[in-house]
Structures are given as C-alpha cells and as structure tokens.
DNA sequence: CCCATCCGATCGATCGATCGATAGGCTCAG
DNA sequence: CTGAGCCTATCGATCGATCGATCGGATGGG
C-alpha cells in the first residue's frame, strides 16, 4: 500500500494523485484504503517521517562505524550514505523534498524538525573541518546547503539501471563535495 | 494575472491551486480568467517557457559580453547569472523545476527542450575546460548535473531580504563550483 | 461471537471549464 | 454627428466530473 502510494506521490505529486488512484494501485477499494491510510495527508506525513528517519539512522550508523575522526573522512561517509539513499530510494526523496507544502502546519513543522536533525549531522562535521583547517569555505552555512542539495539532486536524474554504478556515483560525489569544501588534500 | 499565478503555483503547486484561487488572486471571476489564461495548463506552460527563455537569454548575453575565452571565466559567468536569476526569481524556478510532471506529454517535451538548450551552454564550457586541462573531473556529465543543481538550489532557501547580498551569494557559488570542477587555479 | 478487513453506495464540496448575457469603447457608413 | 455593428472584457450561473471521506453492511478466520 505505502509502496504504491510512494510511487504515485513521487510521479504525480500529492495533489495530483487521487484517492481512487491510490486504491487501484493498492488493489483495494477507496473505502478499504482508509483502514490502512488514515487520511490522505496522514499517509503522506507517515511516508515522509519514515524516509527521513531511515536516512538519519543510516547516517548515524555509518558515522559510528567509521573509526576515523577526521572531518574529511566523516563528510565522505555522509556523502556516501546520502548519495546511496537518494539513488536507490528516489521516490522517497522526491516526496520529502517536493511535497512539504502539502502538509498541514503542525505536521510540516514536525517533518522539518526531522530534516533539521539530519542536516545537523552535516553541519557539525563541516563546522569542525572549518575550525581545524581541513576545510576552507568562506560561508560554512551556504556551503552546507550547497553540497547537500548537490548530493540530493541525484534522486532527480540517476537511474540505477543505467551505466553508472551506485558506488562509483557516490565516489564521484565525495570528490565533488570535498573539493567544493576546499578540503586540504592531506 | 500571470504574476499572481506564479506566486500561487510556486507556493501551492499546480494541482494544489484551483481556478477560483487564481481568479481571486488576479481580481477576476473564474469565467473572465479564461480570456487571459487559456486553459490552466496552457498558463503553466507559458510561465515555464517564459522563465526558461529568459534564463537562456540572460546567460547568452552575459557570455557574449565576457571578452575572456577561458572556460573558468565563462563558467563563472554562467554561475553568476544562474545564481542571480534563481535568487531573484525564485517563484519561476520553483515552478519550472517542480511542476514539469503537471504538463502534458507534448508540452513537457517542448519545455524540456528549452531546458536542454540552456544546459548545453554549461556542458560546452565544462567540456572545453576538461579538454584543455582547466578542469579536472572524472565524469563531466555527472559534474555538470551536480553543479547545476547545486546552483539551482538557492531558489529553495535564499531570501533576498536576508543578511546575504545576491552578489556575495553568487561569488560564493562561483568558488564552490570552480573548486568542485577541480579548476586549476591559474 | 467478535474483530479485522473489505466493499458498494453515496455524501457534500470542489474541480476545471463553458454558457449566454452585458457593458463599454471603437469604427465607419450615411 | 449619429447610430448600427463589432470587439474586448467581464460576469453570474451552471455544467458534468471528480474530489476526499464516510456509511452500513458483508465476509471470514480465531
């Protein structure tokens, strides 16, 4: 159910997807759908929370598994997990990034909080890297947004069945990101 | 009329904006609206074409005005005009980037053609820079998409009334882009 | 017997779009 | 100068379709 909804929301958008389309894609009547979905907006919010929580969990786990303390290494870890998730779970990302406006005020604030929590992981490593000279950026906040969005953009064009392997893709983005941050290549 | 529609489409999305909201924002009845708008989708397509044409024209003009032949200089020109347009015309950009799926097949192809025309300006300079050694990137196509999306992202967070001046912003993005491309700092 | 699951039927609201009518200004023959 | 004819711009009313959501009632395994 949730899987079919994710596909439709990603392809047609929240407002562009009707209850009856969701029901058909799930193989249910629109009435039955409400047993699983709650309201349409609650479904959207649940999908968004799941996606953001999963991304944050993956990033925290990979950071914890990395023995290195060097901000360059840790940013590289963040880029890799981010690119992997965005390349392999494009639907989730497109919905999270594109349908925030469809949420009610309270729910939107809640989802934005989850996003902030994730982005703080990046902010912390970039801040440390700037302090100890590993990175050279005039405006760390602008740089953080820039590289984050750069890495997110893979969800908008990458195709896993294309000629480019996900790990090669991630490695390319690690290079782009570290260079953009002016990483001292030590 | 078109201006009010742009605001609504950018804030609520195409499918999230009703005919009656468009009419109210334009100070007309929904019936009168159709004299100016054509169908709702024709209005969207017109807005998109205008925005993309304007962006391309600005980029071509700025490139022509730049005496330099160095790919680094020319990419810097592209970044500056791109960031300026995206920072000062956020509504247009958000609609072009976010509502492509709302277009019919024929119109979408047409708009995508306009976008391709614009992106070819970037592709050409990046290709030249890679050939003559000004840039060092493993995959020019991936790099082009990455830096383009990085620069586009300003439309999603920048506020012209904030503490950061547009030209400072553009300069920061020139740095980020040239470094990501591995520009030989000559 | 109950509870989870499903459905057909249907709710009021709103959707995008069109209708015929009207009001005002411009043109041009008489 | 007049007035008939036309064009542009506007409107209230309304079209059929679809929207998100809910109802009461099946069905069937524990």
B59 and B82 Cβ atoms separated by less than 8 Å: yes
Note the CA–C1' distance, A134 to D27, in angstroms: 66
CA separation for the pair B117, B104 (Å, rounded): 20
B144 and B79 Cβ atoms separated by less than 8 Å: no
CATH fit for domain A1-38, picks 3.30.930.10, 1.10.579.10, 1.10.10.60, 3.40.47.10? 1.10.10.60
Residue nearest to nucleotide C14 (CA to C1'): B18
The number of beta carbons lying within 10 Å of the beta carbon of residue A24 is 15
Note the CA–C1' distance, B12 to C12, in angstroms: 24
CA separation for the pair B147, B57 (Å, rounded): 20
CA separation for the pair A57, A60 (Å, rounded): 5
Q: How far is B166 from chain A (nearest CA, A)?
A: 12
What CATH code is assigned to A40-180? 1.10.357.10
Q: Is A3's pLDDT higher than 80? A: yes
Q: Where exactly does CATH 1.10.357.10 map onto chain A?
A: 40-180
Q: Where exactly does CATH 1.10.357.10 map onto chain B?
A: 47-180
The total number of residues shown for chain B amounts to: 186
- pLDDT of amino acid B67: 82
Q: How far is B2 from chain A (nearest CA, A)?
A: 21
B77 and B108 Cβ atoms separated by less than 8 Å: no
State pLDDT tens for residues A157-176: 999 999 999 999 999 999 99
Print pLDDT tens along chain B (186 aa). Answer: 889 999 999 999 999 999 999 999 999 999 999 999 999 999 999 999 999 999 999 999 999 998 889 999 999 999 999 999 999 999 999 999 999 999 999 999 999 999 999 999 999 999 999 999 999 999 999 999 999 999 999 999 999 999 999 999 999 999 999 999 999 665
Question: What's the token pair of residue A41?
Answer: 């907006």
A179 touches strand D (CB under 7 A): no
Note the CA–C1' distance, B166 to D9, in angstroms: 41
A178 and A72 Cβ atoms separated by less than 8 Å: yes
Q: To the nearest whole number, what is the mean pLDDT of chain A?
A: 95
Q: Where exactly does CATH 1.10.10.60 map onto chain B?
A: 1-38
Interface list for chain A against chain B, based on CB atoms closer than 8 Å: 11-16, 98, 101-102, 137-139, 142-143, 145-147, 149-150, 152-153, 156-157, 164, 169, 172-173, 175-177, 179-182
Which residues in B lie closer than 8 A to residue A11 (C-beta atoms)?
A: 101
Element (H, E) at B73: helix B71-88
- What CATH class does B47-180 carry? mainly alpha
For chain C, which bases have at least one atom within 7 A of a protein Cβ? 5-10, 14-20
A74 and A68 Cβ atoms separated by less than 8 Å: yes
State pLDDT tens for residues B103-119: 999 999 999 999 999 99
Substitution target from B142, B174, B178, B181 for chain A, most A beta carbons within 10 A: B142
Note the CA–C1' distance, B52 to C14, in angstroms: 33
- pLDDT of amino acid A185: 67
């Amino acid at each position: 159910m949730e899987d079919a909804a994710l596909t439709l929301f990603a392809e047609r958008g929240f407002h562009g997807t009707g209850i009856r389309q969701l029901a058909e894609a799930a193989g249910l009547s629109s009435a039955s759908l409400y047993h699983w979905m709650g309201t349409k907006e609650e479904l959207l919010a649940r999908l968004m929370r799941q996606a953001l929580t999963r991304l944050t969990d993956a990033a925290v786990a990979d950071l914890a598994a990395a023995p290195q303390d060097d901000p360059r290494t840790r940013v590289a870890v963040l880029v890799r997990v981010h690119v992997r998730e965005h390349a392999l779970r494009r639907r989730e990302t497109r919905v999270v990034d594109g349908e925030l406006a469809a949420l009610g005020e309270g729910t939107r604030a809640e989802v934005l909080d989850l996003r902030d929590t994730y982005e703080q992981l990046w902010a912390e490593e970039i801040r440390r890297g700037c302090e100890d000279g590993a990175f050279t950026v005039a405006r760390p906040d602008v740089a953080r947004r820039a590289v984050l969005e750069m890495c997110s953009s893979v969800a908008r064009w990458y195709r896993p069945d294309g000629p480019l392997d996900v790990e090669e893709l991630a490695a390319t983005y690690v290079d782009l990101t570290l260079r953009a941050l002016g990483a001292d290549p030590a």
